[in-house]
């Protein structure tokens, strides 16, 4: 039977990898990023599940919550934009949003499961998926087995910065999450992606270590090991584009930019861009969204 979107069962949070009650006594260099940011008892790690059904339901709940967060932040544009999340059981399929439904209205039960051939094979099939979105996301998932989730939307600042076809500069601590090979630029633009080859070129521009991609004249794409990580990185990259544009405007009036040096940027990236730390970066927004809509997105 094809997988369906079902309510999530309760799960047990597990300690962060290597976490102990004595971690606050260890030197920082011996701690994981999540341990280092936790003063005292470490935050729990990414949940583990006893079945694919429980894992799938958890993914879909967080996926729907991520859409609601993007909507509340204003990252919507007509029927554009999509999130994809690889199914935990069937790795050659991924969940995505139905075409034409507002991010702010999406629920876990709305998601549709598609395979790498573009066929809907599970979930809610009352509406089609986004064809351009399928080509982008399928190419990324095929090229990067480590990528379990990808987010693409048309936020205003991402679109504005994409006109320069340049990577974001290391202007502050937060943008260092995209330091080095974690950031790429797709320097071509041929209109809406309806060509499989363009999807492949886009995935190649992301590279084997990329977390964020600037798509020239288009917008942004981010990826992660969880939908939480990918969604948080999208919100961070969009905000970083806003900051970059503000700095560029100030620099145009004669103020000198001072960039984070490579050593500090690399250290910040290493200590903050860990999958567990990035998973937790998204949890406050999800918690706020859950409070605002009384958990409606989990239905």
Which tens digits make up the pLDDT trace of 57-85? 999 999 999 999 999 999 999 999 999 99
Q: Count other Cβ atoms within 10 Å, centred on residue 231.
A: 30
Matching CATH number, 50-294, of 3.40.225.10, 1.20.1370.20, 3.60.21.10, 3.40.50.2300:
3.40.225.10
Span 45-52, average pLDDT: 96
Q: Distance between CA 1 and CA 52 in Å, rounded? A: 13
SS (HEC) of 21-55:
CCHHHCCHHHCCHHHHHCCCCCCECCCECCCHHHH
C-beta of residue 237 within 8 angstroms of C-beta of residue 211: no
Q: What is the pTM of this model?
A: 0.90
* pLDDT (0 to 100) of residue 193: 62
**Mean pLDDT taken over the chain:** 90
Q: Distance between CA 47 and CA 225 in Å, rounded? A: 13
State yes or no: pLDDT of 132 exceeds 90: no
CA angle, residues 225, 231, 235, in degrees to nearest 5: 135
């Amino acid at each position: 039977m094809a997988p369906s979107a079902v309510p999530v069962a309760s799960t047990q949070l597990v300690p962060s990898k290597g976490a102990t009650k004595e971690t606050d006594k260890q030197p920082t260099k011996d701690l994981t990023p999540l341990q280092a940011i936790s003063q005292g008892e470490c935050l729990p790690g990414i949940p583990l599940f006893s079945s694919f059904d429980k894992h799938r339901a958890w993914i879909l709940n967080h996926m729907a919550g991520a859409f609601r967060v993007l909507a509340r932040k204003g990252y919507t544009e007509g029927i554009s934009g999509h999130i994809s999340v690889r199914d935990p059981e069937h790795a050659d399929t991924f969940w995505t949003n139905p075409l034409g439904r507002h991010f702010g209205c999406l629920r876990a039960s709305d998601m549709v499961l598609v395979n790498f051939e573009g066929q809907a094979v599970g979930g809610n099939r009352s509406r089609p998926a986004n064809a351009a979105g399928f080509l982008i996301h399928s190419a990324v998932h095929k090229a990067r087995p480590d990528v379990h989730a990808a987010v693409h939307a048309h936020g205003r600042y991402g679109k504005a910065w994409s006109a320069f076809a340049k990577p974001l500069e290391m202007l502050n601590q937060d943008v260092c999450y995209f330091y080095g090979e974690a950031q790429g630029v797709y320097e071509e633009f041929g209109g809406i992606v309806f060509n499989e080859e363009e999807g492949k070129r886009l995935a190649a521009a992301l590279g084997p270590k990329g977390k964020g991609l600037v798509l020239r004249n288009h917008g942004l794409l981010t990826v992660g090991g969880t939908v939480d990580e990918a969604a948080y990185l999208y919100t961070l990259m969009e905000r970083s584009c806003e900051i970059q544009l503000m700095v560029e405007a100030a620099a145009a009036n004669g103020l000198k930019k001072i960039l984070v040096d490579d050593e500090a940027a690399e250290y910040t990236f290493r200590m903050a861009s860990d999958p567990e730390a990035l998973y937790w970066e998204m949890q406050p927004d999800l918690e706020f969204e859950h409070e605002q809509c009384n958990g409606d997105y989990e239905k």
